[in-house]
Amino acid sequence: MLNFEREISDIGPEAVAFIGNFKIVNSTLMIVLILIIFLLVYFLIVRKFKEQPDNTQSFMEILYENIALFIDQITGSRSKTEKILPIIATLFIFLGFSNLIGLIPGLTSITVGDVPLFRSPTADFNLTFTLALGAVIAIQVVSFKQNGLLGYLGQYFKVKHVYRSFRKGLQEGFTSLIDFGIGLLDIVGELAKVLSLSLRLFGNIYAGEVLAVILIGSLAWVVPAAWTTMNVLVGIIQALVFGSLVAAYYTLSTSTNEG
């Protein structure tokens, strides 16, 4: 039975249905809803783009160009921007939409029994962790392809640098051991990127939802309205931060190859 009461969400996603032993959670249903909306936008709007744009098409073209210019400022190169623009732009739009869709009044309040039918995807750590892990793995693959096996491993295991330094003298050799240790720490740093990206996004969105429920349940309408407005801003900023960091990591991973 459907009802529209709003409670604080559990920190983990909740199952709303089962297909055999396969669990369907509420954050997955929200992702499906978002994909349906994106498909409708494509078939009803994007496929009808013309040489003479209308207002909707002009808005989308301006959005596309502004995203490209924004990424240009991170990569410093239009050629690099063109390589990652489809991925970063998709992250911007998907994460921005995922962060904001939960703010639609009543949507996340619909429940089946005692379980919310929909949950913001970015308030589910499984999604943010998967996106972060996929982004970091993709960056490693790009770095491997551009630098080759030895060049890629050389970023972390600076054996060649240590060997050359000891040939120049003991002082430079022992100094190079510090660089070798830093290279090993960079491996930990790559793993830390996954947690950093995923926890930052998940923490901000989930905390925003919890505080919104508390404010709506205990204070007058003015404060929740102001909090919702701030959540809109935070949702957009977090999408930009996630995409910007992925673009920055990509730029750093390919800069060594260009010298």
* Whole-number pLDDT of residue 68: 92
Q: What's the rounded mean pLDDT across residues 131-159?
A: 83
Identify the band that residue 34 occupies on the pLDDT scale cut at 50, 70 and 90. very high
- The pLDDT tens digits of the residues spanning 162-182 come to 767 777 777 776 777 777 777
One-letter-per-residue 3-state SS of the chain: CEECCCCCCCCCCCEEEEECCEEEEHHHHHHHHHHHHHHHHHHHCHHHCCCCCCHHHHHHHHHHHHHHHHHHHHHCCHHHHHHHHHHHHHHHHHHHHHHHHCCCCCCCCCEECCEECCCCHHHCHHHHHHHHHHHHHHHHHHHHHHHHHHHHHHCCCCHHHHHHHHHHCHHHHHHHHHHHHHHHHHHHHHHHHHHHHHHHHHHHHHHHHHHHHHHHHHCCCHHHHHHHHHHHHHHHHHHHHHHHHHHHHHHHHHHHHHC
Please compute Rg for the chain using Cα positions: 23
pLDDT at 240 over 60: yes
Q: Per-domain residue ranges for the chain?
A: 2-104+126-258
Identify the band that residue 129 occupies on the pLDDT scale cut at 50, 70 and 90. very high
Lowest mean pLDDT among 38-47, 105-114, 115-124, 188-197: 105-114
- The pLDDT tens digits of the residues spanning 105-115 come to 777 778 777 78
Identify the band that residue 132 occupies on the pLDDT scale cut at 50, 70 and 90. very high
* Whole-number pLDDT of residue 2: 43
Sign of CA dihedral 130, 34, 29, 236: positive
Identify the band that residue 226 occupies on the pLDDT scale cut at 50, 70 and 90. low
Q: Are 231 and 208 in contact (CB under 8 A)?
A: yes
